[in-house]
Structure 1
């Protein structure tokens, strides 16, 4: 039940992120962040799963009744579970998504070990999985190789004789998965969804985003100090003496700060019109005087492109200026750092541990590193996700499970249509168009109808870094191959084993991977409708449907084009409601003086609230709701809301929380439960919420949108 972030990148995937996920589909590496597979109900072996008759009710067992539901519903619903499931030292957070991952990690490990031991046919998926695993798990070999796997690229950088050579080296590094200076990506044109286009987005920072370079609170200032230490330590690992390493660390910090100064803030990236600037190559050259883009694009294998969509023109103006003013020594330091940073987790222990120290301990608070085998499986998922997916769904996602959730999609969609028809703030003409858009949303449930073909990808046992590089190059060219061809609307941007989901406005589709419906330790057959409608219907399906009509998704029409289809008055009335939810979430203090960014998180908060009210009305039509029988001492309505809260059963370390407040368009888990519940009348009735309780909001203060 999670969803890929509603980040306003060219990919425009909106969703309900429960754990950090990977980045854009073209050429970004997913080395450390993709969630892994979760076994679904009917797929689990009965000899390893207890039925509901053998153990306490899942929802009842998680309750912390020392907390009043009307004061803190998140803790009331999940408190006992959170107390009995502390965050492991190797993690920056822990929750239901990590439990799902753990269930499948063991299966993936067995699959990979069997593939490594098999005499697989060369070039087969089994051979690729086996070789990736075998060399990845071999830490002794990684230590013996040291930085050797990236040495040819380091030599290329060191061999530059002038700044004029920088674009060529950048063009070499980007296909390898290195975020070097610029951010090219191939996506559907936001204003013409039938066409694939080249986007240029802001990129190239080693810290999570621009705010980390400029915020003046003590926490962020300390991160900058630690970042300089990390930069210098990485340069020492590359063989530089202390003085050179310190000087190069300052060079990188200076260059990245200049890039950050021209980078947009998180909330500013959510405006699709403000981040869409179509330019010819000649106009692109005018944007960056003295920089000729034609040869650079040719080096990137994009020489036939005649137009580019620039997301943030001011960023590329800065890129152009830096390529004229920054000295060669700065560029050598910056590109060497970006290369080493990208592949550090695949190299020897020194690189790997230093990368972990800064990015996992300093930024996210993890106390010890996750086992190598899990980290290798994450990389394997990124490189060969569809190959693993084919094996997964064949064994673990049965037809009857798929049918249940396809029906749930239909039920929630029908409820959404009823909500639109009953709106008192939307005019009839706009309602008609809204209903057309809803009806045209394509649901993709479980797994794709066709799989990616990895036959041209070489995987061997030379080194883990080499396999990751080749996989990134394969993904780069896979994306390049889309230019000039019809848009493939059957494609998935997530694997079936990903505990996540998303709405893609360019395709007007919701994508619901098989793993998104998994509940750890519970057979699907044993999950009552109340739980499922809350856990899957509200927090995933209803959430994703609502993204098509949130403050950002609503700017795309039924064909997936960025085009206004609302009347001015309807848009104004809608904006008043959006402003109300922005104010509500702005007021929430998360940590120290850190508040939720209401503008940046607006789309997700709208989708959370919409998903809850829409799926609840769908649930009211079920036999369970109408019979009203209690399970585990809980009414059907109570179980519905608790099922929703179950989907956000998660806690995280302060360091991780502080980082995500600055970088994530999703509110923290506690507020994804307490925030929308405070606006839902049925929740008040189900749990007897009264004035004076912390979640209570007067009728006039409650936000109502869908």
Structure 2
């Protein structure tokens, strides 16, 4: 592959740059607006899903159908009524602040910590439900690090000028929130310093973020019996009871951190703990309270930490809040309204076909020895497919929200969602997803050996029943193939067909993968990065996703060819156009620079052209000469599947 060569101002020919050729109209009609970093076809899918959620909430506000819509409609109305939010002031958090102010002695601190977790405000540490790595079919509770306003512990210890500047701005933000939650002006500086002192102690006992990226580093099961003897001041047994957790095992991967927290509960004055908890409540709830709270939060978290110039429109802010606290409620109603039976049935049919194609390819794949091949085939045969929404039905008996207090509704909803999460602990609740149905996503869940396709994903450009079957295979079918490949790739090797965490590859599979990865990385590393001068795609950084794209395209093409063996040229072209339509994007130089250094995906141009230049059927369909940009020579052509 080489860089595309098209005439300036004209759509490039298919054999020079199929991405630019197939997406010419889209690229022309989607210029970047001033200050806009990027725009993409898949981003438009996300925007459409957001608007659908807003439309649903508007309808629920005006004429709700059922209890869940009544809850959602009231939540939405309370958030849009900014005058009511201003009148409400800090009343929603007054009971929480009163609870904190009631602390008199060290023994009062642990119950206050547990009470705040119960309403969805994690303080001091994090506690959540996740899969048990010793038994992927069940969930346990994970005690993990958290409790600081700056998520990365390194912010509290680095001494470079930029970090010191951020810490100074952070201190001012802490002062603002303390002032808004009742601290007198003459005590602000001293009490803000108390907060930062306590958080610094937590950060020093925490692990670097990079050490937490491996799930194994976060997993250390211990029996619940005896926790109170080990951590007498944190009272973790009582904490679990308050959260409604009765399982006999939890994970504490950093016992030294919890030993330090336990010591701090006893050694620091209760007044310092009260100030810290007051700050954490104010910070957590600031986006849902009056404008003074919201502005303070955005000025630091939005402008300083995220580099944003302005807050999102009010509708988006309220929608984000509802998804955070009541996302499963909204997902239930979203799927009922927007997921048609025809879409679900057609999606299931394509998944079944691509699976069958993949099985045949695995059976004859020389990169897998007999033992590994047996595991790979069993994983594929055991694969679960979940489309639309999780099958789990939650308990929607929630305290009525009403329309008078957005902050109050936020606490009601987050308390409900926290309880829903806690109910998973100690159960085989593999029906839960890691994403919401109203969020466009198509993903392979390695822990459950499951393909998850959300309701929001089954719409253009990923899934368009208005197009012919060839287009569907080229778009949706290729995405399915991409994700299924993760079941047996360099990541899927870590979980076997029985959902046991182990590496089921031998040296044969490892060597075969490495040889493939080296070729793919070298090929993509020659490609120029769009919008940037002198910058190439990072082939090593993107190699796993590039292999998945190559695999997905090969699987989709084989599936399509089997379904329509006599397809004419126009039909075949529709298949490839479906693939290209997924990746249309415009990037500013700033956005391209960031993505080039951080993204595990190649830019849209090469997600389109990379796999197609390696698929000889593309060049044959469009009549490209061998050696053209879009038809690699045999010695440079990479084939993942036999």
Please give the range of the TM-score, normalised by the shorter of the 2 chains: 0.7 to 0.9
Match of 1:464 among 398, 406, 424: 406
**Are 2:496 and 2:504, in contact at CA under 8 Å, matched by a contact in 1?**
yes
Q: What is the Cα deviation at residue 213 of structure 1?
A: 5.4
**Are 2:537 and 2:602, in contact at CA under 8 Å, matched by a contact in 1?**
no
In 2: Cα distance, 1:567 partner to 1:354 partner: 55
- 1:553-580 per-position Cα deviation (integer Å, ceiling 9, x unaligned): 4322223332343345535654676688
**Are 2:247 and 2:426, in contact at CA under 8 Å, matched by a contact in 1?**
no
Q: Hey, what does 2:497 align to over in structure 1? A: 558
**Are 1:272 and 1:552, in contact at CA under 8 Å, matched by a contact in 2?**
no
Q: Hey, what does 2:4 align to over in structure 1? A: none
Q: What is the Cα deviation at residue 142 of structure 1?
A: 0.6
In 1: Cα distance, 2:547 partner to 2:399 partner: 41
In 2: Cα distance, 1:330 partner to 1:91 partner: 44
Q: What is the Cα deviation at residue 141 of structure 1?
A: 0.9
**Are 1:92 and 1:366, in contact at CA under 8 Å, matched by a contact in 2?**
no
Shift of the 114–433 alpha-carbon distance from structure 1 to 2, 3 Å rule, reads: closer
Q: Hey, what does 1:645 align to over in structure 2? A: 583
**Are 1:531 and 1:644, in contact at CA under 8 Å, matched by a contact in 2?**
no
- Structure 1 counterpart SS, 2:387: strand
- 1:152-203 per-position Cα deviation (integer Å, ceiling 9, x unaligned): 2123234433444333222111122223222212233222134332222333
Correspondence list, 1:366-377, <5 A: 366-377=308-319
Query: Which runs of no fewer than 5 residues in structure 1 stay unpaired?
Result: 1-62
**Are 1:679 and 1:703, in contact at CA under 8 Å, matched by a contact in 2?**
no
Higher relative contact order (CA 8 A, sep 6+): 1
- Structure 2 counterpart SS, 1:160: coil
**Are 2:612 and 2:630, in contact at CA under 8 Å, matched by a contact in 1?**
no
- 1:31-60 per-position Cα deviation (integer Å, ceiling 9, x unaligned): xxxxxxxxxxxxxxxxxxxxxxxxxxxxxx
Q: Hey, what does 2:3 align to over in structure 1? A: none
**Are 2:385 and 2:450, in contact at CA under 8 Å, matched by a contact in 1?**
yes
Match of 2:70 among 122, 127, 136: 127
Q: What is the Cα deviation at residue 618 of structure 1?
A: 2.7
Using the size of structure 2 for normalisation, the TM-score is 0.80
Q: Hey, what does 2:44 align to over in structure 1? A: 99
In 1: Cα distance, 2:516 partner to 2:229 partner: 41
In 1: Cα distance, 2:250 partner to 2:540 partner: 28
In 1: Cα distance, 2:155 partner to 2:215 partner: 24
Correspondence list, 1:382-461, <5 A: 382-449=324-391, 451-461=393-403
Q: What is the Cα deviation at residue 408 of structure 1?
A: 1.4
Match of 1:335 among 277, 300, 304: 277
Correspondence list, 1:358-369, <5 A: 358-369=300-311
In 2: Cα distance, 1:620 partner to 1:221 partner: 60
In 2: Cα distance, 1:141 partner to 1:438 partner: 54
- Structure 2 counterpart SS, 1:273: helix
Match of 2:289 among 322, 325, 347: 347
- Structure 2 counterpart SS, 1:361: helix
Q: Hey, what does 1:43 align to over in structure 2? A: none
- 1:613-653 per-position Cα deviation (integer Å, ceiling 9, x unaligned): 4334334434399422279xxx356425413424xx46589
Q: What is the Cα deviation at residue 321 of structure 1?
A: 5.1
Q: Hey, what does 1:515 align to over in structure 2? A: 456
Q: What is the Cα deviation at residue 137 of structure 1?
A: 1.1
Q: Hey, what does 2:614 align to over in structure 1? A: 682
Q: What is the Cα deviation at residue 510 of structure 1?
A: 1.2
- Report the RMSD for the aligned CA atoms in angstroms: 4.7
Match of 2:240 among 297, 301, 305: 297
In 1: Cα distance, 2:470 partner to 2:9 partner: 20
Q: Does 1:532 align with 2:472?
A: yes
Correspondence list, 1:95-244, <5 A: 95-118=40-63, 124-210=67-153, 223-240=166-183, 244=187
Q: Hey, what does 1:627 align to over in structure 2? A: 568
Q: Hey, what does 1:26 align to over in structure 2? A: none
Number of matched residues? 629
Shift of the 104–232 alpha-carbon distance from structure 1 to 2, 3 Å rule, reads: same
In 2: Cα distance, 1:243 partner to 1:76 partner: 66
Shift of the 630–574 alpha-carbon distance from structure 1 to 2, 3 Å rule, reads: closer
Match of 1:542 among 441, 456, 481: 481
Using the size of structure 1 for normalisation, the TM-score is 0.74
Greater CA deviation, 227-236 or 189-198? Answer: 227-236
In 2: Cα distance, 1:427 partner to 1:643 partner: 37
Shift of the 160–395 alpha-carbon distance from structure 1 to 2, 3 Å rule, reads: closer
Q: Hey, what does 2:447 align to over in structure 1? A: 506
In 2: Cα distance, 1:620 partner to 1:219 partner: 56
- Structure 2 counterpart SS, 1:357: helix
Q: What is the Cα deviation at residue 417 of structure 1?
A: 1.9
Q: What is the Cα deviation at residue 349 of structure 1?
A: 1.0
In 2: Cα distance, 1:277 partner to 1:546 partner: 30
Greater CA deviation, 426-435 or 670-679? Answer: 670-679
Q: What is the Cα deviation at residue 482 of structure 1?
A: 3.3
In 2: Cα distance, 1:277 partner to 1:695 partner: 51
- Structure 1 counterpart SS, 2:215: coil
Correspondence list, 1:237-316, <5 A: 237-240=180-183, 244-264=187-207, 268-281=211-224, 292-302=235-245, 304-313=246-255, 315-316=257-258
Q: Hey, what does 2:558 align to over in structure 1? A: 617
- Structure 2 counterpart SS, 1:562: coil
Q: Hey, what does 1:57 align to over in structure 2? A: none
**Are 1:674 and 1:695, in contact at CA under 8 Å, matched by a contact in 2?**
no
Q: What is the Cα deviation at residue 149 of structure 1?
A: 0.7
In 2: Cα distance, 1:353 partner to 1:638 partner: 48
In 2: Cα distance, 1:324 partner to 1:422 partner: 64
**Are 1:534 and 1:640, in contact at CA under 8 Å, matched by a contact in 2?**
yes
- Structure 2 counterpart SS, 1:460: coil
**Are 1:196 and 1:482, in contact at CA under 8 Å, matched by a contact in 2?**
yes
Greater Rg by CA: 2
Greater CA deviation, 320-329 or 446-455? Answer: 320-329
- Structure 1 counterpart SS, 2:385: strand
In 1: Cα distance, 2:197 partner to 2:16 partner: 47
In 2: Cα distance, 1:676 partner to 1:560 partner: 33
In 2: Cα distance, 1:352 partner to 1:595 partner: 41
**Are 1:177 and 1:472, in contact at CA under 8 Å, matched by a contact in 2?**
yes
In 1: Cα distance, 2:490 partner to 2:191 partner: 43
- 1:420-442 per-position Cα deviation (integer Å, ceiling 9, x unaligned): 23333321111011101111111
Greater CA deviation, 458-467 or 209-218? Answer: 209-218
Q: What is the Cα deviation at residue 512 of structure 1?
A: 0.3
Shift of the 636–113 alpha-carbon distance from structure 1 to 2, 3 Å rule, reads: closer
